[in-house]
Amino acid sequence: MSQPARPPRTLTIVILDPGTFATLGVWGDATGQGGADLRIRWGIGSTERLELWLPRRLGLADEPNELFTAGSLAVDNLLRVHLTDWRTLGGQQADPGRAGSDFSREVWAGTIRAVAHRPGGISVSAVGALGAADASPTAHVISTAALLDWNLELSDYRLPGTIDYTGTIDVSHEQYDTTGIRLGDTITVIEERVLSLDSDTRYNAYGDAPRTVHSLEWTWRGLAVTFSARAPDLVNDQIAKLSETTRNVTTATISSTDQLVASGGLTTKVSSGVPTDITVGTPSDGTIILDALNLRLYIRSGGTWRYAPLT
């Protein structure tokens, strides 16, 4: 039995004048064939970037959809990327407000910052807006059947005892609506199994939890998704190097089996009145607080705050 042909996908590159927004040119042959390359990167807190490589000199090739020459690829001109695939052809993803005959969808817009002419072609770099999480994040559930590759990581590097769900996945354009994945969305990856050993369902979760999308990279091959990068607990990392000491962010406490020697002096919490358990984040016996108003040094013992007067 013959395999069905892949759904069609065409990327259209549009160049606009930054002042008048007039169309300077359209290149509709951006299909990834003939050595063309395109990479678009998004990231929360980082500038969107586009890298385009055209393997031939524009204006010298007899291309029916090539409506501009290399002169349009000028620094500070606007560059937009429009996608047409089987979804947009079905009218499911046309840009809002556009005519019904326009079956493309704008997937990226930015400003050209660099153009390099080389013997083999032209490379273009453009930048877009500062990446930010979507205000209305979408929860995606994606089967590994739609993934080209994946590296799903579970760790407690940031906070011992708390699991972080990080890693990367490469999502196939043909198998999933990659243009629907935005920064800040969550993705739960499902592994397909013939039969789960612990239930009667054919689809069993990959021991997974929703992972937050931190950055994206669009290529011809697929959409590379990087989940929230670990935010190392630098304080805990440093104190752990010194002794058997751990920091618990949840209870705001530091625990150690060693004796603390403060050669530079020991500073404790100061209150303006008699301390209570509410005064400290985690009340425990042995806690010391200075009552600066009444000149007393309080120590919690047996669940009661006891004091010694200061002279």
What's the rounded Cα separation, in Å, for the pair 59 and 57?
6
Residues 117-169 have pLDDT tens digits of: 877 778 889 999 888 888 889 999 898 889 999 998 877 766 666 777 888 99
Give 204 or 200, the one with higher predicted confidence. 200
Q: What is the pLDDT of residue 60?
A: 47
Q: Is residue 3 scored above 50 in pLDDT?
A: no
Q: What is the pLDDT of residue 93?
A: 59
- Calculate the average pLDDT of the chain: 76
Q: Is residue 8 scored above 70 in pLDDT?
A: no
123-139 burial, b for 16+ CB within 10 Å, e for fewer?
Answer: bbbbebeebeeeeeeee
Give 275 or 258, the one with higher predicted confidence. 275
What's the rounded Cα separation, in Å, for the pair 17 and 15?
7
Residues 21-66 have pLDDT tens digits of: 888 877 765 555 555 678 889 888 888 888 887 765 554 444 444 5
Residue partners of 177: CB distance under 8 A and separation at least 6: 87, 93
